[in-house]
Each structure stands twice: as C-alpha cells, then as structure tokens.
Structure 1
Amino acid sequence: MGRSIRISLLVLGLVAGGNALAQATPPAADGTRQVPTFPLPISPFLSPEAQASVRNGVIHGDPTAKLDNTAVRAQLGAIRTGADQWAYAEIAELRKRYPVELHNETWNGVPVVRVQPRSAPADPTQRRLLIELHGGAFVFGRADSLGLLEAIPVAAMTGMTVVAVEYRQGPEHRFPAASEDVARVYRAALEQMPARHIGLFGCSAGGVLTGESLAWFAKEKLPMPGAAGLFCAGGDARYGGDSRYVMAALNDALLPHADGSLPIMEDLYYGDVDFRDPLVSPIFSEPLLAQFPPTLFITATRAAELSNVAYMHGRLVDLGRESDLHVWEGLGHAFHLDAKLPESQQAYRVMARFFARHLEATLPAPPP
C-alpha cells in the first residue's frame, strides 16, 4: 500500500513536471533526489466546493507553517484564541444542521463535553459511546471548540453519544498527561457499558493520541475498545515518511533536516521523549499493534501524514488486524473538519458505517 502510493506520487510528478524533470540534478549516492519545481494544479476530481477551499488554502497559506517552537510559544495565546474563535463560528452552523444536545460534564476528574444526538435509540441497551480526542498539535484546541467539529456530525450521523475530552496539553503539561486523561474517561465509560460497545477516535493530534491511548490501555491492562479511528494521523508521533517532505514543499512549510528530523509544535508537549517508545509512537511495536481493535484511517493525498498512515495500515494488515484505509484525492490535512464539503460528508458516512459495524449498532435514518 505504501509503495503504491509513493509510485502514484512519482507518476503525478512526471506528468505535471514535463520537461522540468529532465533538468533535475542527478541523485546523490544515498538515493536522495533533488526535486525540481513543477506546476501542481488543483485536482479536477474535487467538488466545486472543495476546489474553492483548496484554492483559498493555497493562496492564503497557513500563517503558522514556518513558525519555529520559540515563535509558537511566544504567539501561543493568539494561536489558541484564533483556533477557538474559528471553531465556535463553525459549530454555530453545525448546530443548525445536526440535532444534538451539548452537556458539559466531568468524567473521573476530566472535563468533557457530552454530545447527545436526538437520534439516539430509545432502548438503553442499544446505545453506544464514542470518545473523541480533538486536534491542535497538543498545544491548542479544546473539547468544546475543535473537538465539537467532529463530535457533532459523528454523533448525529451514528446516533451514538460522543464524549469530547478536554485532555491536558503542553507546554503547561507534558507527556503522558493526555494519555492518562483519556484512560480516566475510558474507565468511566467502562462503568456504563462493555468495551465492545465503545469506540475511540480523533483527528491530527487527536488521531495520534488515539493510538497512544490504545497503547496506554494495553499498558494498564484495560480491555481494548470495539473500534478506533485515527483520522489525519498515524502511529508515528513525528509523521515520518515521504509525504512529510512533499507536503512541506507544497504548503511552503519548514522542511525536515537532512537527518529527517523536524521540530514540531508537539515538542512543547512531548519534551525530551524517545519517539520510538511505543507509548509515544505505537507504530514501532508489533506486539502492541497486534492488540489493536478494528481501526479506520482517514487521510488525503495532500496531507503530511499520508505516508505515516499508509505504513501503519500496512503493518496492521500484515499482523492480521482489521484495518480500513480511505484516502481522499486532492485534499489536505484534516479536510473533514469543514463539514460543508461534499467530500467531508463522504468521510463522515464512512466513519458512521465503520463504527456501526464494529460496535454492533444500527444507524439512524438519514435526515430528509
């Protein structure tokens, strides 16, 4: 799977680059390729709404893409405020579309937002629970902001209660604070229903944390949930692989160093950890991956995590675990957080069917 994706990217480069590739610098003895520039148009396969979204992103860019961690720390208050304000405006629109009720609660000492869909089954024995972990590089975002961008559509489309977790982040807290918080919420969930009726998912840092939480559950000898979703993330906390370089160039972001390392915002949470520790990056432990529940991966061809996700999917399949990988053409990291896109609605339908199948649930009728 990983090799086929890399070959596809190379073919795209050959087609788009034309004669530019003929002028490429010869490769280094270690196989490193100096990639020439070439025009990369927006994918013709995207919906008009998605084309407009991608075009806007290319033109305006990400203001944090070239910030080192010193600058991130200095601007963190503004980054946090900006992300939350954007999310709150999106949530106001989501609540017009999706019939849910929001409840601020505390589960086992951890603040959460319980998203209760009006489509939940009347029979308590038929109800299911999903635990959502928001993104934000482990330094910004909240359960009631970025978390609800996923939790609201997923709750409404599955008929399942979704609990968005307000886990501790850096730089105020360090690893494994977030994993500990998720485990507390999971223990509270296990008091309500069996593990096979509970799912765990998240996007970006939340997707990474989903993998780390499963590793933490294994360490704590907790039963694995019935299903997990690693969205816009894989099992390597540093997002290694080809796509890390390709997307950095495409997004005019910081390129990795010659040794492949790259300071990332998440370092403000991780501190001085061993990134090959399975509790940080479960992708490096076959015994741990062999314990994973059925896992769904959502990513896209312009997402930095693509290689990481493809590699982890291949590892799980090779170990005999059930793993579903869905890659959306032409879109970028965390694209589904914009629920207005037709492609995002496709992704949410994939998520709903996946969790319904593995948690033994019946999906509610779609709205008229």
Structure 2
Amino acid sequence: MSALPLCMLLAAGAHAEAPAEGVRQVPSFALPVSPYLSPQAQESVRSAVIHGDPTAKLDNAAVLAQLDSIRKGTDQWAYGEIAELRKRFAVELHHETWGGIPVVRVQPRSAPADPANQRLLIELHGGAFVFGRADSLGLLEAIPVAAMTGMTVLAVEYRQGPEHRFPAASEDVAAVYRAALARLPAAHIGIFGCSAGGVLTGESLAWFAKEKLPMPGAAGLFCAGGDARYGGDSRYVMAAINDALLPHADGTLPIMEDLYYGDVDFRDPLVSPVFSEPLLAQFPPTLFITGTRAAELSNVSYMHSRLVDLERVSDLHVWEGLGHAFHLDAKLPESQQAYRVMARFFAKHLGTALPASHPAPAAAAAPR
C-alpha cells in the first residue's frame, strides 16, 4: 500500500487523465428553467428554448446574404412592441438632428418644468452593429427609461456595417454628445445602451477621452462589457446553452460585429476599453446589467472588477435565469425591476429626483 495520502493519490490519478493544457471537457446535461423566475419570465425562457434564434448559427456570409430580411424582421417586431409601450408610458417622440446625426428625442411628460432640474440621456441601440435602428430597437429601452426617470432620452441613429466601418459609430455618438454639451453641462448628461449599444457606450467614452471631451455624469453598459469580443467562460457556456456557434479552440469566433469592425485590433482601447487602465480610470459612475444565461456575463464581470479595483463607481446587477438583453421585453417583472435600477442609478449620479410615481434615489455619492 502506498504511503501517499488518499487525496494525493486521487489528485495524481485525476491529473494523469486530465485534458492537455487544463482544458475542461464538459459533459452535456439538461438545464431546467430557473425556479426563481416569475411565471411570465419562465414562459419567455421556455419559448426561447423551443423556438430558438434563427441567427444563432449563421456565419457572416449567411448574415450578409440575409441582412435585408434580418433588418426588416427586427424592425417590424420592434415596432409592434413600441406600439404597446406607447400605451403604457407617457412620452412624445420627435425626430430631430443633433450635431448632424439623426436622433429620436423621447420626451417624457413627467419631465420637470424647471430647466435646472432637467437631465439628458443618450441611448445607443443594439443589433450587432449591423441591424436595428434608433426608432426600432432604440425605443424599446429609450421609452421606459425616459418615462421612469423623467429625463429626455436621445436614441441615436449611428452608422453601422457593412456600409460603414469602425470608428463611424463612435464619431456619430461624439457629434451628438458635443451638441448635448452645448445645451447642458456634462454632469447632467448620461449615456447608455444594450448589446452592441452597450459596447458602443464604452467605446464612446473612450472616444470622448481621446477627443478630450468632459466625461458624462453616468453611463450604463447593459448586456455588454468593455471587450468588444465578449471573452471569458460565459461565451462558451452560453453558446452551448443557446445552441449557438462555439468559439474556436483559440477562443476566437467570427461574429456579426466583424462586418462593422473589419480588421481592427480588438485590444485597442478605442475598441475594447477594458484593456486600458488609464482609460478606465477616467470612466464615470457605470451601471452594468446582465443575466446568468447571457454570453456577456464573464466580460461584464471582468469589466466591473477592473473599475472597482481602480476605485471607480461601478454597480453590477445580474438577473438569475435570464439571457442577453432580457430587459427589452418590458412586460416581464424582472425587466421592470431592471428599469427601476436604471432609473435610480441615473437619478442618483446625475443629481436629480425621479418622478413622483417612482422611489427617490439614495443620496448622491461624493464626486471623484
């Protein structure tokens, strides 16, 4: 009998059979719907599993071939959702141009009358930088946020691929931001977005720093972090769970966003600000929202940890059992919770009060 302790023998045996380079081989298993979800969210998750995402396994050649129908289908779905949102939320929509860029100004009827108390949020829609519009995907979150904060929201119609390439979108957001700065101080302006719009929010902050513009008072990176390629464990796990394309052995994965980015260095801080500590040290208070079934979870967690380590104000909220961009379905109780989190965050850091129908924010943090 060997004199080695049993635990060491077991460890030695496990090491002998372990895959090369510590790569874990994960067996398949059945993943039930989370019991913590509301009945509405449970039904939404079941429906997503049953029906799937028709774009989940499309390579970029297939995306290009189907891009017109993807764009039209996305917009048509969004317009139906927007019609319902307008019945629920008291807002007015105005198509305008700010800094030469088309925007939809979402004006809440709950906006304060006193100009000193008025605030502005810039919203950047999702869609992998190739589909979606300010007046479609953009309004899905701009309308609830405007109504619940009492703040004016500008949904930006930024340029996308494949017709345009990086940094076109960052330039467009900066043009809108300059126009906003002509009306309000930076401390009274916030910026946020979901998915590609969340990525673009981080890229826009990087662009503002490059252009030596003052940072806005607050930012929201929703369903996105500071790495434009969404790295980390969750990229693999969620690809398997969502029956999507798995990354290659080296961790790379062709993504729709490549049709906008082209041949860029994804560690360039203007593309992925998480890789630059000097840049992150300039970030305003930042809110992250994601879910445990979201491919961006690892990316978001890493970005949040970097900001916290640099002593920046950073809030991370993770919703159990929900996936990428879940809050765009405003009917879900969990989405309503997420919008309340957003409203309180922006009110707190932009130094104003929420409309009377919503809870007042906590006292504002001391400026850094």
- TM-score, normalization: structure 1? 0.93
Matched residue of 1:192: which SS?
Answer: coil
Q: Does 1:305 align with 2:296?
A: yes
Write out per-residue CA displacement over residues 13-37 of structure 1, whole angstroms, 9 at most, x where no aligned residue: xxxxxxxxxxxx9531311011001
| Residue 290 of structure 1, CA deviation | 0.3
Measure the CA separation in 1 of the matches of 2:197 and 2:19: 37
Among 334, 348, 351, the alignment partner of 1:360 is 351
Which residue does the alignment assign to 1:22?
A: none
Q: Does 1:254 align with 2:245?
A: yes
Matched residue of 2:81: which SS?
Answer: helix
Q: Does 1:83 align with 2:49?
A: no
- For these two proteins, the number of residue pairs brought into alignment is 344
Runs of 4+ residues over 2 Å off in structure 1: none
Write out per-residue CA displacement over residues 249-283 of structure 1, whole angstroms, 9 at most, x where no aligned residue: 00000000000000000000000000000000000
**Are the aligned partners of 1:26 and 1:34 in contact in 2 as well (CA < 8 Å)?**
no
How high is the sequence identity, in percent, across the aligned residues?
Answer: 85
Matched residue of 1:30: which SS?
Answer: helix
Measure the CA separation in 2 of the matches of 1:55 and 1:273: 38
Measure the CA separation in 1 of the matches of 2:352 and 2:196: 27
- TM-score, normalization: structure 2? 0.93
Which residue does the alignment assign to 2:308?
A: 317
Measure the CA separation in 2 of the matches of 1:27 and 1:200: 46
**Are the aligned partners of 1:155 and 1:161 in contact in 2 as well (CA < 8 Å)?**
yes
Which residue does the alignment assign to 1:159?
A: 150
Q: Does 1:236 align with 2:230?
A: no
Specify the code of the residue in structure 2 equivalent to 1:267. Answer: D
Which residue does the alignment assign to 1:215?
A: 206
Among 38, 44, 49, the alignment partner of 1:53 is 44
**Are the aligned partners of 1:26 and 1:33 in contact in 2 as well (CA < 8 Å)?**
no
**Are the aligned partners of 1:204 and 1:233 in contact in 2 as well (CA < 8 Å)?**
yes
| Residue 363 of structure 1, CA deviation | 0.1
Among 17, 40, 53, the alignment partner of 1:62 is 53
Measure the CA separation in 1 of the matches of 2:56 and 2:27: 21
| Larger Rg over CA atoms | 2
| Residue 125 of structure 1, CA deviation | 1.1
Among 274, 281, 285, the alignment partner of 1:294 is 285
Gaps in structure 1 of 5+ consecutive residues: 1-24
Which residue does the alignment assign to 1:40?
A: 31
Write out per-residue CA displacement over residues 187-242 of structure 1, whole angstroms, 9 at most, x where no aligned residue: 00000010000000000000000000000000000000000000000000000000
Give the superposed CA RMSD.
1.1
Q: Does 1:339 align with 2:339?
A: no
Gaps in structure 2 of 5+ consecutive residues: 1-15, 359-368
Among 185, 197, 204, the alignment partner of 1:194 is 185
Q: Does 1:168 align with 2:152?
A: no
